Amino acid sequence: MKPASDADGAEKRAIKHISHWIDGKPWLGEAASSGDIYNPATGAISGTVDFGGAAEVAAAVGAAAKALPGWRETSLVKRAAVMFAFRELARAHTAELAGLITAEHGKVASDAAGEVARGLEVVDFACGIPHLLKGGFSENVSTGVDAYSIRQPVGVAAGITPFNFPAMVPMWMFPIALACGNTFVLKPSEKDPSASILIARLLAEAGLPDGAFNVVQGGKEAVDALLAHDDVKAVSFVGSTPVARYIYEHGTAAGKRVQALGGAKNHMVVLPDADLDLAADAAVNAGFGSAGERCMAISVVVAVDPVGDELVRRIGERVAGLTVGPGDLAESEMGPLVTGAHRDKVAGYLDSGVAEGAQLAIDGRRHPVSGGEAGGFWLGPSLLDHVTPAMGCYRDEIFGPVLSVVRAASYAEALEVINGSPYGNGTAIFTNDGGAARRFTHEVEVGMVGVNVPIPVPMAFYSFGGWKSSLFGDTHVHGTEGVHFYTRGKAVTSRWLDPSHGGVNLGFPVNS
């Protein structure tokens, strides 16, 4: 082994270390195991992250349970004030948050900043919690009897979030949970954990009490400990369908309230009357943005005859001009994939698709990389044409920059393709026919629909979530359904006897 040079020593000193955040401060214990953090643009290890287990989860949940009574009794106005303060701090630190995301996930700087902005929309929504928790009141439902409803926090809530949106997806959860009076334990992805710790610091600076928000890093052991802990009353999850099903089954078996958002295979129907330039732009933006690593990415274009050949040609023209490179370079439009193993898995679908009969119209393995290092986890935009629903590249959620084109002879056939999918997350239709668009939104079996909008992610005051195998549980995230998920309803019936009632009446209230 060669002796360490000064450069080697500097590199080692530059390696960062990420751990847990428990009871308002960084965890300083000795981790039993840890994992590596990579820079996807270079393939180099940029840091390490501690992996928590049952002990660390117990400490985080214990801190959350201890903080719960005081935070739950904090007035709505004061809770909202903390959300307002956090919103301003997060906005001021957007560049720092985005930089952490780019460095560990690989997405380009503009995409990372956009992720933070979309997450802050939910924080904006949570700032309105005094209005969102208003109940109903009915006077004199029986003689001298009033009835009203209130919503109260469920207790300690947990969020288990994916690598592709390390800031936005947690912000779909904890702002509403905290504003409603719950305390929270976040288990972020171990692939890009740094954003979670900056968020925890900003919440503390905003005035959130110690223990109200905690972070436990790690993998399955930490997840299982959260699902088994008696003090965790609600669990939110975003990730793949197999894991979503696992979270739902084990969480509900333990008596918890669970919302588990799973995978997707999002389709974009292009009718013959569509503006093909608009549709091609949308397919490229929605298919290859964030290197296709998002659950709302368009992964299948369903081209209704006779537009398929022309649409593929226009998509190819746009892909040829895309700049693939490191996310911190201003000219980069698409970055690397998150890990080498994931890159290899995604690239494997190009070969398997061809083996099953698809045509490889665009091979992203040949796309030039601008300013990137050879060790980076690179795969350029790719397109498989003449794909059928029987192929593995269609059935599986690839979660990368691979766009499949399915040809359909009619609107009815295109609809059949989508409704036959086991997933039901998002879909889009491109057409200039309002009647066709209206019919599609009514007939398609998907939770979120876009009309000439390729990624129909709803605003924060609506709720996000799909149908079928894209959602396990009864409620979607954020919006009104998010408020309902993190609260329990209570109905109160009250009677205050008039001073002139003339005596005590303990009878059951009835109409008279």
CATH of the domain at 475: 3.40.605.10
Inside any domain, residue 511: no
Say if CB 226 and CB 247 are below 8 A apart: no
Say if CB 258 and CB 472 are below 8 A apart: yes
Q: pLDDT exceeding 90 applies to what percent of the chain?
A: 93
Inside any domain, residue 6: no
How many other CB atoms sit within 10 Å of the CB of residue 154?
19
Rounded average pLDDT over 429-453: 97
Q: pLDDT exceeding 70 applies to what percent of the chain?
A: 95
**Long-range CB contact pairs, 288-291, < 8 A, 24+:** 288/319, 288/322, 288/334, 288/381, 288/401, 288/403, 289/111, 289/334, 290/107, 290/111, 290/164, 291/106, 291/107, 291/334, 291/335, 291/336, 291/337, 291/379, 291/400, 291/401
User: Could you tell me which of 466, 440, 485, 51 has the C-alpha nearest to residue 244?
Assistant: 466
What pLDDT score does 73 carry?
A: 98
Q: Which residues contact 314 (CB under 8 A, 6 or more apart)?
A: 276, 277, 280
Inside any domain, residue 340: yes
What pLDDT score does 497 carry?
A: 81
Rounded average pLDDT over 438-448: 98
What pLDDT score does 4 carry?
A: 42
503 pLDDT tier (thresholds 50, 70, 90): low
Residue 378 shares a structural domain with residue 478: no
For 457-477, the pLDDT digits (tens) are 999 999 999 999 999 998 999
Q: Sign (positive/negative) of CA torsion 367, 369, 375, 379? A: negative
Residue 198 shares a structural domain with residue 93: yes
Inside any domain, residue 512: no
As annotated, the active-site residues are 295
Residue 185 shares a structural domain with residue 213: yes
Whole-Å CA distances, 49 to 32, 36, 43, 59, 363: 11, 6, 17, 18, 35
What pLDDT score does 176 carry?
A: 98
Residue 57 shares a structural domain with residue 124: yes
For 309-324, the pLDDT digits (tens) are 999 999 999 999 999 9
Residue 80 shares a structural domain with residue 182: yes
Residue by residue, DSSP assigns 61-108 as: HHHHHHHHHHHHTS-HHHHHHHHHHHHHHHHHTHHHHHHHHHHHH---
Phi-psi region of 271 (alpha: psi -120 to 50; beta: other; left: phi over 0): beta
Domain count, the chain: 2
Q: What is the DSSP letter of 244?
A: H
Q: Which residues contact 320 (CB under 8 A, 6 or more apart)?
A: none
Is pLDDT at 13 greater than 70 in this prediction?
Answer: no
Give the domain range for residue 204: 11-21+31-262+470-491
Inside any domain, residue 501: no
CATH of the domain at 435: 3.40.309.10
Residue 131 shares a structural domain with residue 271: no
Residue 282 shares a structural domain with residue 251: no
Residue 188 shares a structural domain with residue 163: yes
What pLDDT score does 276 carry?
A: 98
What pLDDT score does 474 carry?
A: 87
The β-bridge partners of 451 are 429
Inside any domain, residue 73: yes
The pTM for the full model equals 0.93
Residue 222 shares a structural domain with residue 310: no
For 89-118, the pLDDT digits (tens) are 999 999 999 999 999 999 999 999 999 999
What pLDDT score does 11 carry?
A: 47
Q: Which residues contact 145 (CB under 8 A, 6 or more apart)?
A: 493, 494, 495, 509
Inside any domain, residue 26: no
**How far is residue 421's CA from residue 407's CA, in Å, rounded to a whole number?**
15
Q: What is the DSSP letter of 56?
A: H
What pLDDT score does 6 carry?
A: 46
Residue 478 shares a structural domain with residue 406: no
Is pLDDT at 273 greater than 80 in this prediction?
Answer: yes
Residue 430 shares a structural domain with residue 340: yes
Inside any domain, residue 403: yes
Residue 160 shares a structural domain with residue 173: yes
